[in-house]
Structure 1
Amino acid sequence: MIVLIPAYEPDQRLVDLVDGLRGAGQAVVVVDDGSGPAYAPVFQAVRDLGGTVLTHPVNRGKGAALKTGFRSTREDVVCADADGQHRVEDILRVADHVRRTGRTTLGVRRFTGPVPLRSSAGNALTRVVFAAVTGSRIQDTQTGLRGTRRASSPGCWTCRGTGSSTRCAPCCSRPATDIRSTRCRSRPCTWNTTRRRTSVP
């Protein structure tokens, strides 16, 4: 199992996250999505902690970064964000759930503060479409915290767009019963106040 983190112009939060994951004995792959020379010290710090860094010479978008990471490994994968909003313990819980069940697992957010219309509308729309296609209701299809077995990667996710407009969501290439969600206590996003709780079914 590896934790895959796409990163574009990251800061100390990425280093802190990798430090926590490596301290727990977790393998980490970070994809530098064309951040440029100014961010080389951050990625060197990741290497110094024992993480693997893959580099895009130019920014290609989150979807491309995830695909690069998937192609680099034969391990099961948990994806997490580089901005520190996901707690180490939640990432490890998702990883453990994938190992135990063999099912794709989403770390579901619960929003309680003001959420931008674009974000709330996008999530609402993909929830409706996903439920209509698969018959399974997923509260948060846009979460950056998601784990999947290597046998279903990267085909179980559709990634479209570039840069901050990239959206990745589970598709129906596998039965809906193979997808599970777990509530997480991840840190607040930069644009709202969130409240999480932990409970794996």
Structure 2
Amino acid sequence: MAVFEQSRDQPSDIERQANDTDINYSQRAQWLRAAVLGANDGLVSTASLMMGVGAVKEDAKAMIISGFAGLVAGACSMAIGEFVSVYSQLDIEVAQMKREKEMKEGSGESEEENGGVQLPSPVQAAAASALAFSVGAMVPLLAAAFIKPHKVRLGVVAGAVTLALMVFGGVGAKLGRAPLVRSGLRVLVGGWLAMVVTFGLMKLFGSHGL
């Protein structure tokens, strides 16, 4: 009878498997959402930079070089920022674990193993952030790489970026459980606003010989 009661109180294998699945899905969704946001940053910043250069120079080489420079600089910046941020989070969690261990030792409680605790990896987070940014930045670069006519090149870049923004906005809304249309339009309008402002300001400066 005692064995039966103990087994009844403990979660079954199916329940434990379901809980593990929920936890893994939640963590996976957070990583995917961060990757989508990083890719969106790479897409918007690189496309805006290329459109700004395209506003004052018709040379395709200058436009592509500026976009590639933006990809490298942005990926490095994202990686360093994510590394520092996650490393700070790691220090906080490790310090908290040490405090809990000291409290248990001081109160005479038995120490429980923390084998199931997954600490964040700064290197993994930095690599994922840089990769996501690079994936987004490759969209306008590939769109402009094989187009020689200046106006057509600008139009192709704008079209490719628009399509990518719609995809990223939809995926981000799905992962964040936000309204699909509203979230997608927000991302699309924000990306277009960044490109238009950059293009307009560079066109204005270029017309004044700057």
TM bucket, shorter chain:
under 0.3
Give the TM-score normalised by structure 2.
Answer: 0.25
Question: Which of the two has greater helix per residue?
Answer: 2
